[in-house]
Structure 1
């Protein structure tokens, strides 16, 4: 199932390319100033096992979003995994 979700995510990234894309492990940080779409302005975790240093990584993502004048937004999918989901709750 996760492989299918990854393919859908990749298709979405190609269909709605962000102006800036940063990687933090397997988290994809997508930002586009002046555009409100969450797909273009979100952190997209792509591996449920990538749970190292969550608090620090959220802080880094938050600073990037702040620089773009956007609220920090995570797109939660099966690829986010339960550890990150619980941390964000």
Structure 2
């Protein structure tokens, strides 16, 4: 018996709610990154994004920055300050 048939035989005996859990897990497996390092990177990026989105202070800073950028009144570093990063 191949793996697909074995999985099918097990799943068809489950109640519908449990079968949907198996399906959700399979779909998750299909969507996840192929290598563990990609998964870790994605996870860290997701954690960082969630941290920013859930941090009211950072979101306020971002909103203010967008507003001043759109108005052309935001902070503009001098050439000397830009060169310091080199």
TM-score by length of 1: 0.23
Which one has a larger percent helix, Structure 1 or Structure 2?
2
> Whose relative contact order is higher, 1 or 2, with alpha carbons under 8 Å and at least 6 apart?
1
Which one has a larger percent strand, Structure 1 or Structure 2?
1
